[in-house]
Amino acid sequence: MPVLRIWPRVSDTIDAILGAPSPMRTDLDFDRDGKQIGELQLPHSPHEDAWGVIPLPVAVLRNGAGPTALLVGGVHGDEYEGPIALSELVRRLDPKQIRGRLIVLPALNAPAVRVGRRTSPIDNLNLARAFPGDPHGTPTRQIAHYVARELLPRADFVLDLHAGGSSMEIMTVALLGHHGDPDIAARNEAAMRSFGAPLALAGTPGGGRTLIAAAARQDKICFAVELGCAGRVSPTALATARSGLAGFLAHAGIMSGEATPYTGPLWRIAGHDAFVYAPAAGVFEPIRALGEDVAAGEPAGCIHDLSQPARAPTQISFRRGGLMLARRAPGIVARGNCLAVVTAQVISV
């Protein structure tokens, strides 16, 4: 009996989106041996420039047959360790040092990277909430679509290097996306562990709209890493990025060397009450530091109303106990801002 569909399934919609060609172009040849450093060009026609393009930096390093790793930084423009480490890798590596291929996008949402902001100054969109994108959409959506349609299919491994960004302090942590196939899930976990981040979390925020979610839909071996935070460059996290890239590329069989994998437990954000949100506007005074164990009901800090000195601050409590994974970086808060993410619990060893 035929099935009547009154609304397309998400998978049908994604197939239709990825079936449409991208307006983006590049002069780089993804199948040529050697090192090429150039750009992806996104046609853009604002008031100032009728027939111009937005250039996005890209490098391709190839040495014969072998696996392909897609290495991405700058999905958010205020997260710097990934872009720095990836640009360094592109400059330093001789293609003869690898087997297979690296496709490196160190500053993927280039307009956002140019101004050091999480979102693009052109369309105000967050690229980590834009997948699978839209070839007829705004620039951020077109970038997501190009990656999902043109680059993910060429990759065996996908690594998305993030940080906490301007608004958040977060522990350096590798993030493992969900995959329903146990074999692929195990390979994802092994790849994630090979990076050697000091902590590992099962689950990524952003639902199906992230680069890693798009890579998982195409059965790519993929994970993300949160490196530094608060819109700064962290030398410690940058060192982790460098050693992690080397370990992961050795694990992938693209570079020689040995990984120093993370061997600890996987952690998980256990539920919505793991997040502490601001109940009022003001200035947040945190109490607990990243990495500390906190208990449900314990004070997380308070929000001061600096315009009313006679008013007592609003006290904030943790709703669930666990490891203090992340907290807000700027003092000023609006209602609903995320103040802390505390609940991470061991799910396997």
Q: Which residues bind to Ca ion, rule: CB under 5 A?
A: 76, 162
Tokens of 28: 């780089």
The CB-of-162 to Ca ion minimum distance in angstroms stands at 4
The CB-of-319 to Ca ion minimum distance in angstroms stands at 24
Cβ nearer to Ca ion, comparing 75 with 202: 75
**Size (the chain), residues:** 349
The CB-of-186 to Ca ion minimum distance in angstroms stands at 26
Cβ nearer to Ca ion, comparing 78 with 156: 78
Cβ nearer to Ca ion, comparing 76 with 193: 76
Cβ nearer to Ca ion, comparing 162 with 251: 162
Nearest to 318 by CA among 336, 335, 285, 341: 341
* Angle, CA of 172, 174 and 175, to the nearest 5°: 125
Q: In Å, what is the CA distance from 115 to each residue of 44, 74, 122, 145, 285?
A: 18, 11, 11, 22, 28
The CB-of-325 to Ca ion minimum distance in angstroms stands at 14
Report the residue number whose CB is nearest to Ca ion: 162
**Residues whose CB falls within 8 Å of the CB of residue 308, separated by 6 or more in sequence, listed in order:** none
Q: Cis (ω within 30 of 0) for the bond into 309?
A: no
Residue labelled with tokens 């302090």 = 169
* Contact predicate 161/72, CB 8 Å: yes
C-alpha 163/C-alpha 243 separation (Å) is 16
Cβ nearer to Ca ion, comparing 230 with 255: 230
The CB-of-118 to Ca ion minimum distance in angstroms stands at 7
Tokens of 171: 């522990």
Cβ nearer to Ca ion, comparing 74 with 100: 74
